[in-house]
Chain A
Amino acid sequence: MTSSLTYLWLEAKRQWRNRQILIFRLGFPIAVYLILNATDSDAPPSNPGGTMVAIAALAAVNSGLAAGPSLGDERANGWLRQLRTTPLRPSAAVAAKIVVAMSFALPSIALVAAVAGLVGDNEGTALGWAQWLRLVGLMWLATTPITAVGTLIGLTFGGEAAHGATTLAFVVLWLLGGIFTSPDNLPDTLAAISRALPSYGVAQVGESVAGGQALPAAALVVLAAWTVGAGALAALAWRRVVTR
């Protein structure tokens, strides 16, 4: 147990030390929010929480997929094989990557929500403190399946391919996953896909909190299914990746 924590702690220190990645992970969603806020501030929000929830979900995707390139690089340079010669359990290694990605997702989501509360025209200012905390906390927990997807991508594609696959997943979740547009605006097939994507679940959780409604059961099922499915596949991929 302590050995798993040591690995987790080292992973966290390593990734938080990289300033460039830190700026990208925390700064990018804020920049997107500020741009959108400056361009369409007159339009009424189409959903509870409006732009704030959508961009907080974008922040969740952006940080949640972070394990992909990191694992892809470690797979390519042989570090994962080196770890495989030690008693480190594959499940502990995968869990650590997920937790570290989660450690980026929390401040990333919170910063978007904070900026929205400070400069946003409608949505963030309407929330009380308790609701704001609930929004950030629940959207953060809903990010778990996205971190599992990132881990799975990193273990399935090595090196450059992992970077490419992560970007592709990011674009798909952004454009199709209920962030860029609601599934209601999509044709039936795409709408069904959209509602089954984890980013849609994250956005749904945010909207329900912002709108003062109960958490949507369908979205929670989708999030749980992605967490279990991608997490289990990632643990399997860890074994396969390093064993020839």
Chain B
Amino acid sequence: MRIDIDKPAPIATFDGVTRRYGHVTAVDGLWLQIQRGQTVALLGPNGAGKTTTVELLLGLASPDQGVVGLFGGPPADAVAAGRVGAMLQDAGLPPWARVAELIGLVRSLYPQPLPLQDTLRLADLEQIAGRPVERLSGGQRQRVRLALALAGSPELLVLDEPTAALDVDARRSFWERVRAYVSAGRTVLFATHRLEEADAVADRVVVIADGRLLADGTPEQVKAQAAGRSTVSVAADGDLPRELLERLPAVETVRQDRGRLTLSTSDPDATIRALLQHAPHARGLEVTRAGMEEAFLQLTHQEGATP
């Protein structure tokens, strides 16, 4: 499903994009459009293809099939025109440069950059503007990398797992800074594996796993899609064939783990009735209403299990 805000032309498009690395299909037939002004979370577990999606969007990777468009042309053109700013995962900084010098460099590369002071303030770097890069802490480096993404005042801000190395407080202030930047109709795409982060920050959540799109909508819609699931768990006895469990009503997935079989189900009552009918001696039954994280994991696992 899509969000339609007066149907403006999308600024970024993935038209049936596939990208493989050897035998691994990192992005698998992805169709996606991003509209101006949206803050989009690209949500998925590790290895879902988030980074490859980001790289395709920035022209750092090229698709094997399909077309990626950015501002109506190839990504490289949009990057060359200074319409995009990016914070890549684990990108290093060059030693023997000072913070303000690096920001000054990026500002000089873009046609209409933010003022230096605004950039420093947005990323909370005013106190360490003159500090050499090699003497920065991890959190300070992260803020410098954010500043480098913002300094050019790009129309589209792309952030790949930007808070992965931050603690809870630093994460909250990071997103406050991004929000302060975004207010003026700018577009943000960020990759994350944290559902609560997508929920708190984004106005649209795109869920991917194994390179495929699983869900797309407002955080509420995606949560509704992931929620409403429960797990039924039962002791794994020899006379309880897995195939039987997979055929029970409302069952979506079956996992085996430490002597127990765990079923993900959208209707636990129906599942249990049928289970006891087919296997009256089943023992150790447990029913759990799935939490948000678990529901999200099930949503992604479920799709990952299909060949």
Contacts and interface: CB of A to CB of B under 8 A. Distances in A.
Interface of A: 2-3, 6-7, 10, 13-15, 17-18, 74, 76-79, 81-82, 84-89, 242-244
Given A84-B60, A85-B86, A87-B82, A79 B93 contact: yes
Contact of A79 (B86, B91, B109, B158): B91
Interface stretch (B38-46, B96-104, B117-125, B197-205): B96-104
B94 A85 contact: no
Nearest to B110: A87
Contact of B62 (A74, A87, A243): A243
B66 interface: no
A69 to B, nearest CB: 12
B144 to A, nearest CB: 11
A3 B81 CA distance: 13
Contacts of B94: 14, 74, 79
Contacts of B108: 2-3, 6-7
B104 A6 contact: yes
B21, B94, B101, B145 interface centre (most CB from chain A within 10 Å):
B94
Interface of B: 21, 55, 58-62, 79-82, 84-86, 88, 90-97, 101-102, 104-106, 108-110, 145, 148, 152, 158
Contact of B61 (A2, A17, A79, A244): A244
Contact of B92 (A13, A17, A79, A89): A79
A212 B96 CA distance: 43
Given A7-B109, A74-B94, A85-B86, 11 more contacts: A3-B108, A7-B108, A13-B101, A14-B95, A14-B97, A17-B96, A74-B92, A78-B92, A79-B93, A82-B86, A87-B80
A87 B109 CA distance: 6
| Secondary structure type dominating chain A contacts | helix
B109 A85 contact: no
B109 A3 contact: yes
Given A86-B110, A243-B62, A10 B88 contact: no
A13 to B, nearest CB: 7
Contacts of A15: 96
Given A13-B101, A18-B96, A86 B62 contact: no
A6, A82, A242, A243 interface centre (most CB from chain B within 10 Å):
A82
B91 A82 contact: yes
B79 A85 contact: yes
Contacts, number: 85
Contacts of B91: 77-79, 81-82
Nearest to A21: B96
A10 B94 CA distance: 10
A79 B88 CA distance: 10
A82 B60 contact: no
A86 B101 contact: no
Contacts of B148: 82
A173 to B, nearest CB: 27
Contacts of B82: 86-87
Contact of A85 (B85, B92, B105): B85
23 contacts: A3-B109, A6-B109, A10-B97, A10-B101, A18-B96, A76-B92, A77-B93, A78-B92, A79-B91, A79-B92, A79-B93, A81-B60, A81-B91, A82-B148, A84-B79, A85-B84, A85-B86, A86-B82, A86-B109, A87-B80, A87-B109, A88-B109, A242-B60
Nearest to A6: B108
A243 B59 contact: yes
A231 to B, nearest CB: 21
Contacts of A82: 86, 88, 91-92, 145, 148
A156 to B, nearest CB: 18
A89 B86 CA distance: 16
B64 to A, nearest CB: 12
